[in-house]
């Protein structure tokens, strides 16, 4: 019987002379650019100033990267501190190790600071960015594919991901194919982004509700995807730390979404420094 599987890339780094081009970093960069493009179109469709999302991104991206690294190091300190470890490795972001929760928190802080500086509604910016963030996260997961990391339990399904022996965790050396959790999350994120846009077409989501829906959809998927993964992480009770984080974020976002369902924010779809009427058009792509 012919066994099919998804092959893993033979390398995740290419060298242009002395300059290393890493798939992990490339995915983050491309994802960020796509998120800015989508966010910019949605923001302008709501009456926002052209170019504002790009201005906000200048603050949000570096804050997000720092936040992502801080979260990773804080939740997996044993990888960087203690006997045989090198603290300087904390700075080696190019080797992987960015936590999405830290990225969202740090990016949100940077975006908030930018919104204050540019006198624009933070909720309006967050709602515009919501589906684009999911697309960016989907693209970023390709970095895990090229690094042969963060895959799931062994599987013989036709879509099983072939992992080189050197990348297989201890105790799983005898297995060749694993659940491609990078692909599961990629597809989930794209579907969630499409759902937010579809809902926003019918019921305009304002006041941070589109962003809350983003958080709900992403965390719902992250819970079941985390349950498949076999990489070594810290647990609290029966669950991985990221599962607990997902549950907490989902509950907070769901509570906000429900409690604000009848709230109409002042100046709906208006930047804080504009008195013009919002454009009536809606972005559907």
Residue 284 has a pLDDT of 37
Worst-scoring range by mean pLDDT, 112-126, 153-167, 265-279?
265-279
Any domain includes 265: no
Residue 271 pLDDT greater than 60, yes or no: no
In a domain, 49, yes or no: yes
- pLDDT of 108: 95
pLDDT at position 272: 41
The CA–CA distances, whole Å, from 72 to 60, 136, 234, 237 equal 18, 19, 11, 19
Give a yes or no: residue 5 inside a domain: no
Cβ-Cβ contacts under 8 Å for 21 (sequence gap 6 or more): 13, 14, 15
Number of domains in the chain: 1
Residue 109 counted as domain residue: yes
> pLDDT by residue (tens digit) across 236-257?
988 999 999 999 999 999 999 9
Give pLDDT tens digits for 13-65.
998 888 888 898 899 999 999 999 999 999 999 999 999 999 999 999 999 99
The residue length of the chain stands at 285
| 229 DSSP β-pair partners | 152
- Assess if residue 207 is contained within a domain: yes
Q: What is the dihedral of CA 160, 250, 74, 230, to 10 degrees?
A: -20
Per-residue tokens: 168:
């297989």
pLDDT number for residue 266: 46
Q: Round to whole Å and give the CA distance between 61 and 111.
A: 9
Note whether residue 8 is domain-resident.
no
Give pLDDT, residue 2.
52
Name the nearest CA neighbour of 215 among 121, 139, 108.
108
* Sequence-distant contacts of 249-252: CB under 8 A, at least 24 apart: 249/101, 249/215, 249/219, 250/215, 250/216, 250/219, 250/220, 250/223, 252/215
Taking phi over 0 as left and psi of -120 to 50 as alpha, with beta for the rest, 119 belongs to left
pLDDT of residue 234: 85
Closest CA to 50 of 67, 69, 37, 32: 37
Angle subtended by helix axes 209-226 and 241-259, to nearest 10: 150
Q: Kindly report the number of other CB atoms within 10 A of residue 64's CB atom.
A: 26
> Mean of the per-residue pLDDT values for the chain?
89
Any residues with CB less than 8 A from the CB of 257 and at least 6 apart, and which?
209, 212, 213, 216
Q: What pLDDT digit, counting tens, does each position of 66-104 carry?
A: 999 999 898 888 889 888 888 888 888 777 688 888 999
Work out the pLDDT band at 269, boundaries 50, 70, 90.
low
Q: Is 279 helix (H, G, I), strand (E, B) or coil?
A: coil
H or E stretch covering 21: strand 19-22
For the entire predicted model, the pTM comes to 0.87
283 in a structural domain: no
Residue 159 lies in a domain: yes
Domain residue limits at 223: 20-165+174-259
Confidence band, pLDDT 50/70/90 cuts, at residue 282:
very low
Confidence (pLDDT) at 100: 87
Q: 161-162 and 19-22 as β-strands: parallel, antiparallel, unpaired? A: unpaired
Q: Which helix (H) or strand (E) holds 257?
A: helix 241-259
**pLDDT tens-digit map of 169-199:** 999 999 999 999 999 999 999 999 999 999 9
When pLDDT is cut at 50, 70 and 90, the band that residue 119 belongs to is very high
């Amino acid at each position: 019987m012919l066994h099919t599987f998804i092959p893993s890339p033979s390398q995740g780094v290419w060298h242009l002379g002395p300059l290393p081009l890493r798939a992990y970093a490339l995915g983050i960069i491309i994802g960020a650019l796509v998120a800015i493009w989508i966010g910019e179109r949605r923001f302008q469709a709501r009456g926002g100033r052209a170019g504002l999302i790009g201005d906000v991104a200048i603050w949000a991206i570096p804050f997000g990267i720092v936040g992502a690294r801080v979260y990773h190091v804080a939740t997996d300190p044993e990888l960087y501190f203690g006997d045989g470890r090198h603290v300087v490795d904390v700075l080696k972001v190019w080797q992987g190790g960015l936590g999405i929760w830290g990225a969202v928190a740090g990016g949100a802080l940077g975006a908030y600071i930018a919104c204050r500086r540019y006198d624009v509604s933070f909720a309006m910016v967050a709602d515009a960015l919501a589906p684009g963030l999911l697309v960016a996260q989907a693209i970023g997961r390709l970095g895990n594919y090229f690094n042969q990391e963060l895959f799931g339990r062994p599987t013989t399904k036709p879509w099983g991901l072939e992992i080189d022996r050197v990348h297989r965790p201890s105790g799983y050396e005898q297995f060749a194919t694993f659940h491609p959790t990078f692909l599961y999350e990629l597809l989930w994120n794209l579907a969630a982004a499409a759902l937010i846009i579809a809902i926003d077409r019918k019921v305009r989501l304002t006041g941070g509700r589109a962003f809350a829906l983003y958080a709900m959809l992403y965390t719902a998927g992250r819970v079941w995807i985390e349950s498949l993964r076999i990489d070594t992480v810290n647990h609290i009770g029966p669950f991985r730390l990221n599962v607990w984080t997902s549950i907490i974020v989902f509950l907070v976002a769901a509570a906000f979404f429900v409690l604000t369902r009848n709230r109409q924010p002042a100046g709906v779809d208006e930047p804080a420094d504009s008195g013009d009427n919002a454009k009536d058009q809606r972005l559907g792509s």
